[in-house]
Structure 1
Amino acid sequence: MSSASESSDEDADALATTSAARARAAETLDFLGVRATRERDDIGAFEERYGAVKRARGAGAAAEALEGLTLAFDGGWGDGVRGLGGRRRGGRTPPRAKARRRAATLDLGVEDEMRALDEANAVAETLASDRGAELALEVRRPRDGAAWLLGLALRGGFGGASNLERLTSLTLRGGKGLSVDGFTTLIGALKGDARSLRNLDVSSCGLGVDAAKALVEVLDENGCPLERLDLKANSLGADGALALSCALSREKSSLKALNVAQNLIGAEGVRALVAAIAGASNLRDLDLQHNGCGDHGAHAFAQHGLGSLENLSLGFNGIGADGARAIAEALRKRHRSDDDDMDVHGGGDDDAVGRASKMLKRLDLKCNTVGSDGAHALAESLNDVEDLDLSNNSLRDGTKWIAKSLKSKASNLKQLSLQANEMTDDDAWWIADALGENNSLKTLNLGSNALGDSGASDLASDLRENTSLETLDLTRNTIGKDGANELMDAMDENKTLTRLAIESNLIPAETTLEMKRRVGLRAQCDWQRAGFSDTAATAPTKFT
């Protein structure tokens, strides 16, 4: 037999081995109720790819053939053989596999014009190599002189097929080299066929009002089904916010997440956006941090409501007690509206799902001036909130009202931050008392207060009865040896608490050693302030 025939036989054997391995894998996955798909290659091209397998690769052909497989579990619950996790084959038609995504990067910061042109063409060729995939494109160092190259890449280079119709994600983050005209040229590349664009990130581009208006016009003209828009740090001002509010007011707006943090839109801009989202039924996430809205802007929520928001970030906005009361009123309106819907529809399972989708799950008010009175107002309206951040708000004794809300059986709070609120051991008593009864809270941050040993002792006492808290942050609280010992004793009994952060306190080195010996990695206690070891412990003390 000739060497050519031997080589051909070996290729055939390798291909047969690969095909057999693939068939066995498919049979096993089918039995488990699992679908197999290829991410990198079309299954129909399998024989073509492996038809010329050489002898040196024969042994590993099966492994390489299966390398691109991903597993997706069948979601059906009909009759049939049970697969993994108790799921069974049959029943509902399994959902279609998620579309493949092709990621590409275009660097427009190349100084040489021909090199930039070559890169744009290379990106176009890369995208054209997988026409069935969705496209996620990141543009680095965008600048005026090369803005037109984005259009070239998206439209397929010289004479190539357009990639616009499958563009789903575009990132232009940090494009500080763009003028208004340059950005208008750049974003103008989306005109026409970019009707699949769902995610657009133009954060930290320094766009200004005129560029924001140009963006809104392009999106409006294009009918883009945007779901996520990031406009953080762009100096939009009130006029830019007004332009955005007009876009949000469209009945068919599909936007689910909007970030306009750090844009100095002020109270007027916030009021315009809040009025718009009241009718934007799809918007779930809104980030308005660092916009100077003050109490006047916060009143827009009481006037117009929260729409369908689930996550609202209002940190660093100068919101005081009056603004907190307005937000509390908006929360009460939302709750009453949900209750009315339940009454009208009979309160069935479908209504419960609808109500859950309208809960404001996360409220971030960090670094404002809510104070004790504002905390009192908010505490009476928190039943549907799961994640609350009131850190750095000068709450002081107002924390007792938050603690009382934790004792309510209607409380759904799972994460709570009261960091840096000038709390003392008296305030810690109220929180400790709530922990003895609460069974929903998972994470509690009390860092950067002045709880001391007495406050730590109160918390330790009620931690013995708590069965839900998993993370407790007590960093920077002037806790010493006595408080640390009390917490150790509590952790010997409480096995639910898996992370105690107690660094940067006044705990002696030998006590931290004892804590690590007794509770292990559950306690983060190494870093302590200098000069507070009362014995010559052998372990080195770390300093902050």
Structure 2
Amino acid sequence: MSNNNLRDSGVKLLCTGLKNIACHLEILRLSDCSITEEGYKALASALRSNPSHLIELDLSGNDPGPSGVKQLDDLLQDPNCQLKTLRFLCPAAEEACQYVRGIVGKNPLLLRELDLSRRELGDTRVNQIAALLQDKHCTLNTLNLWGCSITEEQSLVLTSALNSNPSHLRELNLRGNKPGDSGVKSLSDLLMNTQCKLEKLNLCGCSITEEQSLVLTSALNSNPSHLRELNLRGNKPGDSGVKSLSDLLMNTQCKLEKLDLWGCSITEEQSLVLTSALNSNPSHLRELNLSGSKLGDSGVKNLSDLLMNTQCKLEKLDLCGCSITEKQSLVLTSALNSNPSHLRELDLSWNHITNTGVNHLCDVLKDSGCKLERLSLNRCGITDVSSLTRSLRNTKALRFLKELDLSDNMIGDSKQQLVDVLRDSNCELRVDEDPWPRVPDRVQPSRVPDRVQPSQDDGCCIS
């Protein structure tokens, strides 16, 4: 009965016959019959009451709506249902549904989150997933394609599909794939689509070049109000990419909360441009990762200006492996001391903080407004933590601090004072039993030496 104007009322009349126990109908084709959610509900109900005969049902070209899809899915779960073929999507999308169901056990049209990470999809699967994504019945909020070996051509297919049905997607993870020029251009078209309301974008390790960074950030700048998290770690934005990213950050409509630029080879001049941009629009940012950057004196000074800005509400700051000197650490900690109430996590590992920097950091911990929960000072050239332990015991900081990483520092006899801190009834610190000094994954690989067994003086491994 395909290609007739049955509508829901016609389907309901048909259902009267389907419910009849004498009805042994095996094949029913109702494609393009203007059937909506109400008709699907009636049809599913009728088939549940007499499920044993129908083996093929074609409903393609109709609009089941979310509950209609759920009704069909429940029907298929009925042990008495003998349906072998159910069509209401294009063939490629149907294949994608079967593939996804085999992985996650559920119909992707009923999912809000689809995780296909670490699966090599290949051209056939990518085309099927693309057909699913562009179908109007697909309402995925989160799509995780991390490490799927997606090529440039496949990226183009996927992002083009998303661009044809963009309004539901809120989170996209393409980490570890190779979108190339055409994939990045197509992704940028998606980001510029006014119907696109993407909030989280992860492009970590996607080999994005300076020119591609420029294209992406320019696209984001044309539709900036929805994005909340941007992960560009391990890419090479270069001068023009950083400048374009800074333009985005200065846009008053930009409400970015998390920015990850770990291992992006950010230079002193680039860090100056970035931090100036952040300082002009600081109220939304909550997490900033500049690990592996070369901040230099001017970058540290500008970052300190941002931290002192009363509108700055940064909660997490990662500066691991930024070649920060003892003098620069004093500038940073002075800035933190002037506005300490928001910061919850601070990572200064693999910098030359030394005892002097730690002593200065104690002033931050002594502040009554300080509520720091995680402090990482791994491999910072620290030999004495006496002032740090005194500060912890004599202030309210000990009530808040949950993690303290001093591994790979030669703190010698002063580690006994840390043991005394752990005995304090107000202490919330966790003990790390791992005897190996930990090298954070935030440090650039070129800076990470081979791990060797620590000597007796190689830190206390308390966290």
Q: Same fold, TM exceeding 0.5?
A: yes
Q: 1:504 to 1:225 in 2, by over 3 A?
A: same
Which residue number in structure 1 is paired with residue 373 of structure 2?
Answer: 442
Q: 1:128 to 1:371 in 2, by over 3 A?
A: farther
Tell whether 2:119 aligns with 1:175. Answer: yes
Q: By how many angstroms is 1:487 displaced?
A: 3.0
Partners of 1:266 and 1:293 within 8 A in 2 = yes
Partners of 2:167 and 2:196 within 8 A in 1 = no
Q: 1:327 to 1:223 in 2, by over 3 A?
A: closer
Which residue number in structure 2 is paired with residue 486 of structure 1?
Answer: 417
Which residue number in structure 2 is paired with residue 370 of structure 1?
Answer: 295
Partners of 2:268 and 2:295 within 8 A in 1 = yes
Of 359, 364, 376, which residue of structure 2 is paired with 1:429?
A: 359
* TM-score (ref. length: structure 2): 0.67
Partners of 1:197 and 1:224 within 8 A in 2 = no
Partners of 2:323 and 2:351 within 8 A in 1 = yes
Q: 1:231 to 1:126 in 2, by over 3 A?
A: farther
Partners of 1:444 and 1:472 within 8 A in 2 = yes
How far apart, CA to CA, are the structure 1 residues paired with 2:407 and 2:97?
A: 53
Which residue number in structure 2 is paired with residue 261 of structure 1?
Answer: 204
Partners of 2:168 and 2:197 within 8 A in 1 = yes
Which residue number in structure 1 is paired with residue 268 of structure 2?
Answer: 321
Partners of 1:289 and 1:317 within 8 A in 2 = yes
Q: Percent identity?
A: 25
Tell whether 2:98 aligns with 1:153. Answer: yes
Q: SS state of the match for residue 499, structure 1?
A: coil
Which residue number in structure 2 is paired with residue 284 of structure 1?
Answer: 228
Report the count of equivalent residues. Answer: 352
Which residue number in structure 2 is paired with residue 111 of structure 1?
Answer: none
Letter in structure 1 aligned against 2:95: L
Tell whether 2:404 aligns with 1:472. Answer: yes
Q: By how many angstroms is 1:152 displaced?
A: 5.8
Letter in structure 2 aligned against 1:174: R
Q: Which has the higher contact order (CA 8 A, sep 6+)?
A: 2
Q: 1:411 to 1:280 in 2, by over 3 A?
A: same
Q: 1:439 to 1:198 in 2, by over 3 A?
A: same
Letter in structure 2 aligned against 1:334: N
Partners of 1:125 and 1:156 within 8 A in 2 = no
How far apart, CA to CA, are the structure 2 residues paired with 1:289 and 1:201?
A: 17
Partners of 2:383 and 2:409 within 8 A in 1 = yes
Which residue number in structure 2 is paired with residue 3 of structure 1?
Answer: none
User: For 1:47-86, what aligned pairs fall within 5 Å after superposition?
Assistant: none
Q: SS state of the match for residue 409, structure 2?
A: coil
Q: 1:379 to 1:293 in 2, by over 3 A?
A: same
How far apart, CA to CA, are the structure 2 residues paired with 1:178 and 1:170?
A: 17
Tell whether 2:259 aligns with 1:333. Answer: no
Which residue number in structure 2 is paired with residue 385 of structure 1?
Answer: 314
How far apart, CA to CA, are the structure 2 residues paired with 1:401 and 1:494?
A: 34
Q: By how many angstroms is 1:192 displaced?
A: 2.5
Q: Which runs of 5 or more residues in structure 2 are unaligned?
A: 1-65, 79-90, 438-452
Which residue number in structure 2 is paired with residue 128 of structure 1?
Answer: 76
Which residue number in structure 2 is paired with residue 395 of structure 1?
Answer: 324
Partners of 2:341 and 2:370 within 8 A in 1 = no
Tell whether 2:142 aligns with 1:191. Answer: no
Which residue number in structure 2 is paired with residue 417 of structure 1?
Answer: 347
How far apart, CA to CA, are the structure 2 residues paired with 1:484 and 1:318?
A: 35
* TM-score (ref. length: structure 1): 0.57
Q: By how many angstroms is 1:223 displaced?
A: 4.0
Partners of 1:386 and 1:414 within 8 A in 2 = yes
Q: Which runs of 5 or more residues in structure 1 are unaligned?
A: 1-98, 104-123, 131-145, 336-357, 507-527, 534-540
Q: By how many angstroms is 1:231 displaced?
A: 0.7
CA RMSD of aligned residues (A): 3.7
How far apart, CA to CA, are the structure 2 residues paired with 1:127 and 1:168?
A: 21
How far apart, CA to CA, are the structure 1 residues paired with 2:168 and 2:249?
A: 25
Letter in structure 2 aligned against 1:420: W
Q: 1:256 to 1:276 in 2, by over 3 A?
A: same
How far apart, CA to CA, are the structure 2 residues paired with 1:479 and 1:394?
A: 21
How far apart, CA to CA, are the structure 2 residues paired with 1:435 and 1:490?
A: 15
Partners of 1:405 and 1:411 within 8 A in 2 = no
Q: 1:152 to 1:387 in 2, by over 3 A?
A: closer
